[in-house]
Every structure is written in structure tokens, then in C-alpha cells.
Amino acid sequence: MLKRVICVVGARPNFMKIAPLMRCLSRSRVVEPYLLHTGQHYDAAMKATFFEQLHIPEPDEDLGVGSGSHAVQTAEIMRRFEPVLDAQTPDAVVVVGDVNSTIACALVAAKKGVPVVHVEAGLRSFDRDMPEEINRVLTDQLSDLLFTTERGALANLEREGIDPARVHFVGNVMIDTLLDNRQRAPSVGEVLAAGGVADVPSDRFGVVTLHRPSNVDDVDTLGRLIDTLGTLSAELPLLFPLHPRTAARLESAGLMERARAACVLLPPLDYLRMLGLLQNAIMVLTDSGGIQEETTAMGVPCITLRENTERPITVEAGTNTIVGNDRARILGAARDVLRDGGKAGCIPELWDGHAAERILRVLEDWFRAKQ
């Protein structure tokens, strides 16, 4: 009998991680995947285009939870996930990353005695002000099998009392997706034309993404960041695809016009268009976790507008520089890149496009050992 595995997705960064896993798991003779979308992200630009472009099968179930406060969103996912577990009686639940859907489904499964498998385990920013850090720590505590993307993650897990026998260093499924799709990304010219952008040279621009509460929720911080980007854009045109959360904050803070004067604003981009921009950018300024990894994998300089990172390999081996949201540090790092091209970086160990295959092998062995 095939082992039924519920694979959970909820928010945009989950989609890039689940795509190669679903592909591998559906070819297995041991495992049968069942795809569950919590509905945390629901707009076409935040969900449907990713499913189409990454050939993710339609979810077997969509819980349709939508947006809400952390408590409401997490509780609603839990409430709606429980009957799915009861009906499907899976042999394991696979969760990826660190979003609210990850912890919510892990918690429901663990309390029902269903083994939890966490992909992208052991990353720590040591900053509990980030909701994702809380999700990471708790999900790892609840997990039976933990798959890590960088070697340092094991020490974080051991420090928290997790048995190293449950931890497997397999590489990075998001980089599987990146390497699979790089060739399919449209040219910068096509992306700019589709966005109606005429005055940005396709070989000389930076990309900005911002959506962390620490950067966008406080009006003064957001205003200062926009002004800093405005200064930089006199030296390098900046393309800024807006996350819905950021767009809402700019509107409510009355900062949209200043943002439009500082950068070329774009709607949220689909995966391939974003990839087309990222891989050709002179530099990327971001507070995203995933983009720190994607830029390292592509050798593109990344300036991270946060005080810390849970992905230290991108700084130690990759192209990432952490600068926080201080104006002088941001401009200093950006001008370093403009002057000498920034950190060269190298590709982290096992970021080779085969992480999902390694995960499947471990999972199959684990099921066989339990029989």
C-alpha cells in the first residue's frame, strides 16, 4: 500500500518549494502525495500564476482561509485542517518553510500523532520579533523528520534538543526550482515591456522587494527606506514589484507618490518574470528570505534590509550583505557594488538542483524502516 503524504502549501514562497517535491513524490512507488493549499495567499498574482508556471498540480483541497491576524489565520487553518486529516488518514504531513500555514498544519498533525516532515528546518535568525522565527522553532520541535538546506542548521537543532538522527542535510528545494526554470525566464526587455516600463535600460537596474512588518508597518521606517531608495535610484534605476502588504501600507501611510518618484513600481510579478529580473540585476535590495538564497545561487549581489538572517550561508559563502534599514549602511553597500561588483560568492554545498530527490530517498527509507 502506498504511503499517503499530505503536502501543505499556503503562501507564495511555499509554492517554489513544493513544486519539485510534488514532482518527485508523484513518481514514487512508495509514497502517494496529496496536495493541500491552506489559502493563506489567494490572489492570482500570489498563487495561480505560480501553480501554472511551476506545473504544480491543482490542490486536492483548498482550505480557503485568506488573510487575518496571526492568531485568526493560524487558528482558522488549524480548524479547517483537522477534518482533512481525519478524512485522509495520512502517513505523514510535509510542511515547508516558516509561514503561518507551516506551523498551523504541523501542530494539528503532531497532536493527532501523524508524523511531521519539515523541509527547510533549522534556520534561525535568533530574532523572536519575526513571526517566522517563532514558526520555525515550533515547527522543528514538532517534526519527526527534518530536512536542512545548510550545514549550520544542524547545530541550531541540536542546541534545541532535537535528535540529530532525525536531521538530514539535503540541499535546497527552492534552488531545485530555480535551476529548473532559469532558462524559461523571459528577457528583461519582455518583462519591462509587459509592465509598460520604457525608460529603464535592460542591462543596468536594481530590483527591490520589501514586505517584512519590521520595514513596512512603521510609517517613519517605511518613509526613510523610500527616501533612501530615491537617493540610490539617481545612480541606478530601481524596479520595485510591490507585495500586496507593502502596497496597502504605502497607501495608508500616504507614501505611494513618494515611492513612485523613488522607484519604478510594478505589481507583484509571477515567478518567471521575477527570475528574469533577478538574474540580470546589478544588485537586489530585499528583506525576503528566499531572495537572499536565489541571488546567492545566481551570483547576483544581494543587500539585505534586515538586521539578521536565518540563512547565514548566503553571507558566509554567497553574495549577501546584511545592512538593516539604516540609510548610510544601505547606500554604502550599494555603492560598493556599483564600484567593484560586490561579493563574488560561491554556490553553497548541495544547492545543485537535486534536493527533492534526496528528500524522497530519505522519506522512502524512513517508511520502509517503520514497516
Q: Is residue 61 part of the contact set for ligand UD1 (CB under 6 A)?
A: no
Q: Is residue 53 part of the contact set for ligand UD1 (CB under 6 A)?
A: no
Which DSSP state fits 280? T
Q: Is residue 143 part of the contact set for ligand UD1 (CB under 6 A)?
A: no
| Helical (H) or strand (E) element with 7 | strand 3-9
Contact between 239 and 315 under an 8 Å Cβ cutoff? The reply is no
Min. distance of Cβ 243 from ligand UD1 in angstroms?
6
Rounded Cα distance between 273 and 277, Å, is 6
211 noted as active-site residue? yes
108-124 burial, b for 16+ CB within 10 Å, e for fewer? bbbeeebbbbbbbbbbb
Q: Which stretch binds ligand UD1 (CB under 6 A): 237-245, 255-263, 306-314, 337-345?
A: 237-245
Min. distance of Cβ 202 from ligand UD1 in angstroms?
26
β-pair partners for 321: 303
Q: Which three cell numbers stand for residue 338?
A: 556599483
| DSSP character string of 35-73 | EEE--SS-STTTTHHHHHHTTPPPPSEE-------HHHH
**277-316: contacts with ligand UD1 (CB under 6 A):** none
Q: Is residue 138 part of the contact set for ligand UD1 (CB under 6 A)?
A: no
Active-site residue, from 41, 211, 243, 354: 211
| Of the residues 166, 182, 245, 354, which one makes contact with ligand UD1 according to CB under 6 A | 245
Question: Taking Cα atoms as reference points, which of 204, 305, 208 lies closest to residue 264?
Answer: 208
Pick the closer one to ligand UD1 by CB: 40 or 280: 40
Min. distance of Cβ 100 from ligand UD1 in angstroms?
4
Q: Is residue 132 part of the contact set for ligand UD1 (CB under 6 A)?
A: yes
Q: Is residue 100 part of the contact set for ligand UD1 (CB under 6 A)?
A: yes
Strands 283-286 and 320-322: unpaired
| Helical (H) or strand (E) element with 300 | none
Residues annotated as part of the active site: 211
Chain residues in the site for ligand UD1 (CB under 6 A): 11-13, 40-43, 46, 67, 99-100, 131-132, 211, 243-245, 248
